[in-house]
Structure 1
Amino acid sequence: MKLKRYLQVTKPGIIFGNLISTVGGFLLASQGRLDWTLLLATVAGLSLVVASGCAINNCIDRDIDARMARTQKRVLVTGDMSPKAALAHGFVLGLAGFATLAIWTNVLALCCALFGFLIYVGVYSLYMKRKSVYGTLVGSLSGAVPPVAGYCAASGRFDSGAAILLLMFCLWQMPHSYAIAIFRFKDYEAAKIPVLPVVKGISEAKQQIVLYILAFAVATLLLVFYGYAGYGYLAVACATSLWWLKMALSGYKESTDDRVWARQVFFFSIITVTALSVMMAVDGQVPAHIGWML
């Protein structure tokens, strides 16, 4: 079906993952004063922007996708959709998404979405992904935008809470992405994408995964320290972060199958970020005072 192709090119799984974190950021900032119209507009607008970025990314990456086993059946590689059609689809989605945010949310949410889009499409997809081992770090900025945009849409400000979310989700992206690069090592190697495991080896990637999970664990506690979340959130943050760290450290065992281990780290990263997004939504608090804001 033609409609199915237009859906597939937007990477629905990525859209859904971003939707969860967007709602988490929005409800954290709402503090029980939920505006359903604003929430729906924020989710719809950001989902359309993310879909647009993914469609355009598929156009840019079609040569890479043809060399990777897991992406060889994408519609632009198989020829089921033309690059021109995918690009036009991406532009229409982007215009609809940015218009939705501009009309029904606020300038900060719109600027967050625009920042994430430009980083993902312009900096990461067009250059950093192909040219630098630091492409993952740059890409993590765009991946951290949805919860921040959700927060800014609800609060109307960029304050210490938004900054903590940006830090948290940037740090989370790194072990998540490195784990993918390990269990998809042959794909990245075949496509000549300079991710850390391919450039510096799996041992270095394992070390970076542990360090980033440690940094992420500390960052999650900042929401409690600054009064944005309560003890329920704290319990979940500690439990998930420590279990994720334990899982990462198990990669140093001599009997470890690196691909199996990396898949486990990857899947638990999704559980971790989903659990935290839910707890931000249900256990958010009004801080006694906000340190700074824009």
Structure 2
Amino acid sequence: MRSESAPAAGTTAAPASDARTGTLAAAAATPAGRVARARAVVARYVTLTKPRVIELLLVTTIPTMILAQEGWPSLGLVLATLVGGATAAGSANVLNCYIDRDIDRVMNRTRRRPTATGEISPRAALTFGLVLGVVSLTWLWFLVNPVSSMLTAGAILIYVVGYTMILKRRTPQNIVWGGAAGCMPVLIGWSAVTGTVGWPAVLLFGVIFFWTPPHYWPLSMKFRRDYAAAGVPMLPVVAQDTKVAREMIGYTLAMIACSLLLVPAAGMTWVYAVLATALGVWFLVLCVRLLRRAEDPARGKLRAMSVFHASITYLTLLSVAVSVDVFLPL
């Protein structure tokens, strides 16, 4: 006796996969399905802008604006600067994904980026990145000032051309000089308030410039196999951990010096001086500990990522110290 679930004579049962495909297609044709699909597309484009990187860049912009204003800048100016800066950073990051899509496919950390998976075509990514760049520069020119717009153009060029196209695949010092793009938000924030670039902004630029290698190299230590497979000569790929750690200590000392030079240059109080010193010494101790463990593995695991996360904490707290100090009595 034939089972009730069996197909009738002369007919062919539809494969289960076809049934599922039909169900998904039907769901996508509904209003809710179209909304979900649109959200997925938007999410892919947002991913290309690297929102977490943008957040870190903006953390340094507001304190610089407060320092330049010696108080609270107007809310409209702050919002205009942040929107323009975030859009510009998004442009640079999208163009970075467009250029690096070949090596992104090789690296486990980046192989899910939409430009690496093909979910966003190279042409669409290039167009998106260029449009964001034009919008950001136009926005800053008319809603902030031309100086901030030109500095932002410089930041995009340093990251896209200087770092991504020229330095990244050629030299272990790529992140040192290419990292200058990440220092530009403090110059942009200062110029947004004053229309010029002052010495305090230059020193804050120095803080972030020297902070960048000890921030990024621990991440490169963790993903050195990825970078090696992609042919990217990050310093941890081509040098021993001891050499990397020693250079991190050197950059950290320079970073601390710049943070303390801000005291006379910007008239900071003793509160900032104490906090900047304490934060700098704390981060320096972590770098020294990394060196000790690199020299003698018996001391324990390298724990490079703990230094990476600590670097973010350091920059965030130093930025808070700059902001708060402006409102303290001399």
Q: Please give the range of the TM-score, normalised by the shorter of the 2 chains.
A: over 0.9
- Map 1:1-294 to 2 at 5 A: 1-251=40-290, 252-253=292-293, 254=296, 255-258=299-302, 260=303, 262-284=304-326
Question: Where do 5+ consecutive residues of structure 1 fail to align?
Answer: 289-294
Matched residue of 1:70: which SS? coil
Q: Say if 1:228 and 1:285, in contact at 8 Å, map to a contact too.
A: no
Q: Say if 1:55 and 1:87, in contact at 8 Å, map to a contact too.
A: yes
Question: What's the CA shift string for 1:63-116, capped at 9, x where partnerless?
Answer: 111111111111111111111111111111111111111001122211211111
> 4+ runs of 1 displaced by more than 6 Å?
none
Q: Say if 1:214 and 1:245, in contact at 8 Å, map to a contact too.
A: yes
Query: C-alpha root-mean-square deviation of aligned residues, in Å?
Result: 1.6
Matched residue of 1:130: which SS? coil
Look up the equivalent residue of 2:286 and give its one-letter code.
M
Q: Say if 2:215 and 2:307, in contact at 8 Å, map to a contact too.
A: yes
**Bigger relative contact order, structure 1 or 2 (CA pairs below 8 A, ≥6 apart):** 1
Aligned residues: 285
Name whichever of 1-10 and 153-162 sits farther off: 153-162
Q: Say if 1:236 and 1:279, in contact at 8 Å, map to a contact too.
A: yes
Look up the equivalent residue of 1:94 and give its one-letter code.
G
Tell me the TM-score normalized by structure 1. Answer: 0.93
Question: What's the CA shift string for 1:197-217, capped at 9, x where partnerless?
Answer: 112222110100111111111
Question: Where do 5+ consecutive residues of structure 2 fail to align?
Answer: 1-39
Question: How far apart, in 1, do the equivalents of 2:121 and 2:85 lie?
Answer: 25
Question: How far apart, in 2, do the equivalents of 1:181 and 1:29 lie?
Answer: 35
Q: Counterpart of 2:10?
A: none
Question: How far apart, in 2, do the equivalents of 1:129 and 1:239 lie?
Answer: 33
Question: How far apart, in 1, do the equivalents of 2:80 and 2:216 lie?
Answer: 29
Q: Report how far residue 148 of structure 1 moved.
A: 1.6
Q: Counterpart of 1:291?
A: none
Q: Say if 1:210 and 1:245, in contact at 8 Å, map to a contact too.
A: yes
Matched residue of 1:72: which SS? coil
Question: Percent same amino acid at aligned positions?
Answer: 32
Question: How far apart, in 2, do the equivalents of 1:31 and 1:22 lie?
Answer: 14
Q: Report how far residue 33 of structure 1 moved.
A: 4.5
Look up the equivalent residue of 2:58 and give its one-letter code.
L
Q: Say if 1:27 and 1:281, in contact at 8 Å, map to a contact too.
A: yes
Q: Counterpart of 2:17?
A: none
Q: Say if 1:228 and 1:284, in contact at 8 Å, map to a contact too.
A: no
Larger Rg: 2
Q: Report how far residue 46 of structure 1 moved.
A: 0.7
Question: What's the CA shift string for 1:90-146, capped at 9, x where partnerless?
Answer: 111111111111001122211211111101001110110011122111112101001
Question: How far apart, in 2, do the equivalents of 1:236 and 1:83 lie?
Answer: 46
Q: Report how far residue 39 of structure 1 moved.
A: 0.9
Q: Say if 1:230 and 1:285, in contact at 8 Å, map to a contact too.
A: no
Question: How far apart, in 1, do the equivalents of 2:91 and 2:167 lie?
Answer: 19
Question: How far apart, in 2, do the equivalents of 1:228 and 1:89 lie?
Answer: 43
